[in-house]
Amino acid sequence: MTNAILTGLMLGGMYALIAMGLTLQYGVARIMNLSYGEFLIAAAFASHWLFTGWAVSPFVGLALVVPLAFALNFAIYKLLLTPLVRRAPNRDALEVDSILATFGLTFVIQGSMLALFGGAYYSYSFLAFPVQFLGETVAANRLTALGITILLGLALYAALTRTRAGTAVRAVAVDPFAAQLVAINVPQASALTFALGGALVAAAGVLVSTFLTFSASSGVVFTMKALIVVVMGGVGNMLGCLVAGLALGLSEALVASYVDPGLTLAVNFALFLAVLLVKPAGLFGRATR
């Protein structure tokens, strides 16, 4: 039992990690980023390249890739998405526009990765040894990823609730128009949040690459998973994201261990549906209007 729960927590932690960035981008900056998974894979490739080509540990890779992703996403928001934000008469229109724009971006990023790395599968071994944890044998790389997820989650939570900038971000998430009235620079806050989401997905990409096999075209799987977690947890809600991720991971691991591994997907979607039926805005979402 401990083993199944531990496995579930590690898997759930990964889901939460993958979804954290999207919940910021979608919940606060109101950009439904369909190229989200591609950014994750791009970071995974960067980490792979640093590790196999230059023997740079993925931990150091994090320190390089994450700031770079932040800058890149900030630039993308400023150059590509700001015109959409300006033009959109309301939030719904912006969502539709951003879906189309980022869908296009998907092809650009995927195409570049295919050109650079080809279509083959990539995988490398980092911290791929067993460790004893709570009396069970688990993979060190997955455990590390869980640890870093928890740290990132806590840091982000603290930043959003304890700092001035975090409060501004939350205000924008709740109501961008009212936020403007209290002298919050909404465009700036949105850009920073989008970039922060991009930095988080890069962190997820680096960590995931240490234990999952990936290829240039596997981004869409991660976009889908992140989207489910975000919608299930309540758009823009960090805590919801964490709870939903863990719930999915735990249910998968328990079902695989005690019922049948063939039913994991079915249980995932059943859980997703159940949440949407009971709480249409997600576990921690507030119904708007």
Length of the chain: 289
Residue 185 neighbours by CB under 8 Å, 6+ apart: 168
Nearer to another protein, 15 or 39 (CB): 15
Helix (H/G/I), strand (E/B), else coil: 234:
coil
Nearer to another protein, 3 or 57 (CB): 3
Q: Where are the alpha helices (DSSP H) in 77-185?
A: 82-87, 91-117, 140-162, 164-174, 176-181
Restricted to residues 58-117, the positions that interact with another protein (CB under 8 A) are: 110-111, 114
| Whole-number Å distance between alpha carbons of 70 and 35 | 15
Of positions 14, 42, 160, 206, contacts another protein by CB under 8 A: 14
Of positions 79, 90, 262, 288, contacts another protein by CB under 8 A: 262
Binding flag, residue 252, another protein (CB under 8 A): yes
Closest to 88 (Cα-Cα) out of 31, 172, 163: 31
Tell me the number of residues near another protein by CB under 8 A.
Answer: 42
Of positions 47, 144, 193, 264, contacts another protein by CB under 8 A: 264
Residue 258 neighbours by CB under 8 Å, 6+ apart: 4
Binding flag, residue 226, another protein (CB under 8 A): no
Binding flag, residue 34, another protein (CB under 8 A): no
Evaluate the CA torsion angle 114, 120, 125, 131 in order and state its sign: positive
Q: How far is the CB of 112 from another protein (least distance, A)?
A: 12
Restricted to residues 115-154, the positions that interact with another protein (CB under 8 A) are: 118-125, 128-130, 137-139
Residue 279 neighbours by CB under 8 Å, 6+ apart: 234, 285
Binding flag, residue 54, another protein (CB under 8 A): no
Binding flag, residue 47, another protein (CB under 8 A): no
Q: Residue 112 half-sphere exposure, CB side, CA atoms within 13 Å?
A: 11
Residues of the shown chain interacting with another protein in the complex, contacts defined by CB under 8 A: 3-4, 7, 10-11, 14, 110-111, 114, 118-125, 128-130, 137-139, 211-218, 221, 249, 252-253, 256-257, 260-262, 264-265
